[in-house]
Amino acid sequence: DTGVSQNPRHKITKRGQNVTFRCDPISEHNRLYWYRQTLGQGPEFLTYFQNEAQLEKSRLLSDRFSAERPKGSFSTLEIQRTEQGDSAMYLCASSFVEGHYGYTFGSGTRLTVV
Amino acid sequence: KNQVEQSPQSLIILEGKNCTLQCNYTVSPFSNLRWYKQDTGRGPVSLTIMTFSENTKSNGRYTATLDADTKQSSLHITASQLSDSASYICVVSLLNSGNTPLVFGKGTRLSVIA
């Protein structure tokens, strides 16, 4: 297991298009998190899963955003009708439930909406 | 309100010099504090993690300190190298939090120049 894997690394899309990102967490980790990070800022929480259950969604996650983790393994984050303000780095992280140890980030997907 | 404040916002130092980055937090209940290094365009990578009872932890040339009474932490980098140029993010974990367990600082942007 080489850590948290995210694909694609970069995505350029036209405004109004839909995009989907994938995250493969560390296999032993129950929890999976999605964050958004804009330039010069720390990561902002979007949502997280414990196994396949989505337990919390931030108010940052508008109705254009949806995340799934259908079998409790990999997760997808979809953005519909992208806007220029969606341009950011989307980070995925995974961890064990207890103590939040082993909290590991992926390398992120850089989205540019033109 | 749970917050993590970092200073300075940015820092430029000469290769070989030492530097210290600061982190103040108002997070309760506190579980642990982590320092991450984030290279441009990459996900954060964990440097150190300290619980309430730990005052200092080292990882190579990186040494983190924690004063849980004053709610302050520092990250000291010794004999800086050009590859240390990155953002350093302080992250505080909430105790027994079932959701949004991490509070992120905005980071300190370190540039090491020759």
pLDDT, one tens digit per residue, over B40-69 is: 989 999 999 998 889 999 999 999 999 999
- In chain A, which residues have their Cβ closer than 8 Å to the Cβ of B99? 48, 55-56
The percentage of residues in chain A with a pLDDT greater than 70, rounded to a whole number, is 93
Is residue A28 over pLDDT 60?
yes
Q: Could you tell me the two tokens for B70?
A: 């004053």
| Yes or no, beta carbons of B101 and A100 under 8 Å apart | yes
| Yes or no, beta carbons of A41 and B106 under 8 Å apart | yes
The percentage of residues in chain A with a pLDDT greater than 90, rounded to a whole number, is 63
Check CB contact of B35 with chain A, cutoff 8 Å. no
| Yes or no, beta carbons of B100 and A45 under 8 Å apart | yes
Q: Which of B105, B78, B111 is nearest to B4 (CA)?
A: B105
Check CB contact of A89 with chain B, cutoff 8 Å. yes
Of B43, B89, B91, the CB nearest to A108: B43
Q: Could you tell me the two tokens for B4?
A: 């993590």
CA pair distance A80, B14, nearest whole angstrom: 45
Helix (H, G, I), strand (E, B) or coil at B39: coil
Question: What's the pLDDT score for residue B28?
Answer: 83
CA count, 13 A, side-chain hemisphere, A89: 24
Predicted confidence (pLDDT) per residue in A40-77, tens digit: 888 998 998 989 988 888 877 889 999 999 888 999 99
- In chain B, which residues have their Cβ closer than 8 Å to the Cβ of A6? 43
Q: Which residue of A has its CA nearest to B37?
A: A105
Check CB contact of A39 with chain B, cutoff 8 Å. no
Q: How confident is the model at residue A22 (pLDDT cuts 50, 70, 90)?
A: very high
Q: How confident is the model at residue B94 (pLDDT cuts 50, 70, 90)?
A: confident
Question: What's the pLDDT score for residue B99?
Answer: 57
Nearest-neighbour CA in chain A from B74: distance (Å):
17
Predicted confidence (pLDDT) per residue in A93-110, tens digit: 998 876 556 688 999 999
Q: Which residue of B has its CA nearest to A90?
A: B43
Question: What's the pLDDT score for residue A5?
Answer: 96
